[in-house]
Every structure is written in structure tokens, then in C-alpha cells.
A = this chain, B = another copy of it.
């Protein structure tokens, strides 16, 4: 938390949208992390979808500015031009309008007008795409942690790695964000003893991707779950990881070390490595 001594580095940030504000939130975070010395305090104001609400939001932000004494940064993604105009007229602060700047020039480039309808991006405009996404999440949950081999051949990706190497969060992110069906399969001591992949995976080798992790970090993570167990001991983690990496190398499975990578980075790398990149938006 901040105290009065560093209030010069403190900034209020508002994310204002007539939709969910999630798009604005994502881009705002990307832009603001380029300024790590500033202590940003962020407030989301989603669903500002009437002229009245726009006036209220503007007043709330102006009030904050008065109390704070510093100009707030305001990220907006208004699609409705009337609501946007009202908001802009009433608010002070540094406005970063994420849509308007690009939509105008795009209208010229594409030779057509935009539809000005709110929240298209997170509306169910495309039932088929939406159903695919829900089906991907269902599939991924059912095929978490090697729970079943049924329908394993339907997977777009099968992640392998030792327990707690990051397979589950990555699988869920790939399903949620990219509508990919992801199975994940733990590599366990029995696999290492047999010196081979689990049998169910052998015909699906081209879909496999491995996650590895630094032993120290794995031990830390496992200790949170089962403190002072052999499972969590650094020695055991070292051994499992060494065995898993040997197995993956021998079987020709691509893998990456997840230790310092975010779920997004791991996911984007997998998509890129497995050539799942091309995708249609309509």
C-alpha cells in the first residue's frame, strides 16, 4: 500500500466501457506495465451503457481527481458514439480511447462503416465459435491429469510433465482463450521405470508437448500442497525432473521450461510450436 511519501508516483486509473471492460483492461495492463515505477490504482467501470451512466461515471472520476490532486488516466472502449461523446464532454483526465483511434481509419481502409454495436467482442455473435469454446473447456476438464483415455485422439494438444509443472492452468487457458481441446497427462515414476511413455500416448506423439520446471521451484510449489513430504523434497523433485527430461528427449517430444514463464507465454509458445496458429475470425 502507498503512504503519503510516495504519492507523487501514485496514479488513479479508470477502465470505462459500455461493455464488459475486459478488452480495455487487457490493453491497459499491457501499456501500464511499461511504467513499473508508477503505483497505479485501477478501477473498472463496465456496462456504462446509457448517457446517464456516462455522466455519473464522469462525475465519479472528476470527484476522485479532486480528492487526489492528480490527473487520472482513463482507458475507454465506448462503441456507442453518443455515450462516448457525453463521457468525453464531462470528464477531465488523460483519456486513452482505444477504439476511436483505429475504427475511423479502418472504416476508410475497408470501405465500409462499423456497426457501432456495444460489446460485440464479448457477445455471443457466433454460436458455433462459442459452442466450440464451451466444448473445449468441457473436454479439457474431463481430460485433466490423465483422468481418462477415452477420446484422447480428439485432443488438439496433449501436455505431459511431472506433477505440478503447470499442465492444468496451461490446459485451461488454451481451452478458454483458443477453444483448443487439451488433455494433460502426468509423467510418473512408473513411466520412468518402464523407460517409455504411457501406452495411450504412443500413437499420439505428434500432439504431445512437455512442460518442465526448475527443481527448486517445483519443490516450493509441492511443499505448499504437502509440506515436508518426500513428494515435495528437492531431491525427489530433481530426480523426477531429470527422468522426465530424459524420457522426453528420448521420445523426441518438444518441451519448454515453465519456471519463469506466464501461462500466456507458455500457451503462445505451444500454439506456435505445434503450428496451431492459423485461425479464422468472422
- Where the two chains meet, the residues of A that have a C-beta atom closer than 8 Å to any C-beta of B are 11, 13, 19-23, 26-47, 71, 73, 77, 79, 94, 96, 98-99, 101-103, 105-106, 109-110, 112, 114-117, 119-125, 130, 133-134, 137, 141, 144, 168-169, 172-173, 176-177, 260-265, 267-269, 271-272, 277-282
- Jot down 24 A-B pairs with beta carbons below 8 A, ordered by A: A19-B265, A22-B177, A23-B30, A26-B121, A27-B98, A30-B121, A32-B281, A33-B123, A34-B116, A34-B117, A35-B114, A38-B112, A40-B280, A42-B280, A45-B277, A46-B268, A46-B271, A47-B268, A73-B109, A94-B105, A98-B102, A122-B262, A124-B260, A137-B168
Q: Shortest distance in angstroms between A101's beta carbon and chain B's nearest beta carbon?
A: 6
Q: Which residues of chain B are near A26, meaning CB under 8 Å?
A: 22-23, 26-27, 121
Q: Which residues of chain B are near A262, meaning CB under 8 Å?
A: 122-124, 130
Taking the full assembly, how many copies of this chain does it contain? 2
Q: Which residues of chain B are near A105, meaning CB under 8 Å?
A: 94, 96
Query: Which listed residue, B42, B73, B99, touches A30 by the CB 8 Å rule?
Result: B99
Query: Which listed residue, B37, B47, B169, touches A272 by the CB 8 Å rule?
Result: B47
Q: Which residues of chain B are near A46, meaning CB under 8 Å?
A: 268, 271-272
Interface residues of A, dominant DSSP: mixed
Q: Shortest distance in angstroms between A270's beta carbon and chain B's nearest beta carbon?
A: 11
Query: Which listed residue, B35, B114, B265, touches A20 by the CB 8 Å rule?
Result: B265
Instruction: State in angstroms the CA–CA spacing of A102 and B76 once bound together.
Output: 12
Q: Which residues of chain B are near A269, meaning CB under 8 Å?
A: 47
Instruction: State whether A34 and B130 are in contact (beta carbons under 8 Å apart), knowing that A168-B141, A261-B124 are contacts in the complex.
Output: no
- Indicate if the CB atoms of B35 and A110 lie closer than 8 Å: yes
Q: Shortest distance in angstroms between A77's beta carbon and chain B's nearest beta carbon?
A: 7
- Indicate if the CB atoms of A11 and B110 lie closer than 8 Å: yes
